[in-house]
Amino acid sequence: MIGCSDSKQNLIVVEDDHDIDLTQLDSVRDNLNGFWILEDVLDEENLLYLDFDKENNVTSWETIPFSREIEQSGVIPMISCRPWVTIIKPHDKVELEFVGLYYSDTLEIESLSKTKFKIDGLTYLRHKGYDFMSSPIMPESVPED
């Protein structure tokens, strides 16, 4: 891919990385906000961007490319028909409810820390993302549980 940066150098690392309590909805929401990249495909340069609203715990499941061109221009290509995700707590654990144009599903968060989360067998790592987007992208701004 032309114009890519090194995804591994853009991963967020913190000294005190620990599991987040998956029974606390606010803590889960705050720790999921930000940029993520799939652990198994670090070189593909596609980021997941989550920005949950504190009032209704909803965001779009926003997959965006990560490139120097976008970093310099500050313009992100729009993708239509992305699913919406709501954080719900139907029982003792927080789950993600997905609603898309042609489907809906509910998935349990298998694990969550300041720098990693796992859902549906897929592991995501926290990524620096874009400085021009409002997001907790620096380690010191990643919320405690």
- Taking phi first (over 0 means left), then psi (-120 to 50 degrees means alpha), and beta for anything else, what does residue 135 get? beta
Q: For residue 73, what is the enclosing H or E element? A: helix 68-73
Model confidence at 6, pLDDT cuts 50, 70, 90, reads low
Question: Average pLDDT of the chain?
Answer: 82
Q: What is the mean pLDDT of residues 124-130?
A: 87
Residue 10 CB: number of other CB atoms within 10 A?
19
Residue 143 lies inside a defined structural domain of this protein: no
Residue 25 lies inside a defined structural domain of this protein: yes
Residue 140 lies inside a defined structural domain of this protein: no
Measured distance CA(101)–CA(105) in Å, rounded: 12
Which is more confidently placed, 67 or 14?
Answer: 14
Residue 3 lies inside a defined structural domain of this protein: no
pLDDT cut 70: percent of the chain above it: 79
Which of 59, 83, 56, 37 is CA-nearest to residue 134?
59
Residue 2 lies inside a defined structural domain of this protein: no
**Domain assignment of residue 80, given as a range:** 8-133
CATH of residue 103:
2.40.128
Domain count, the chain: 1
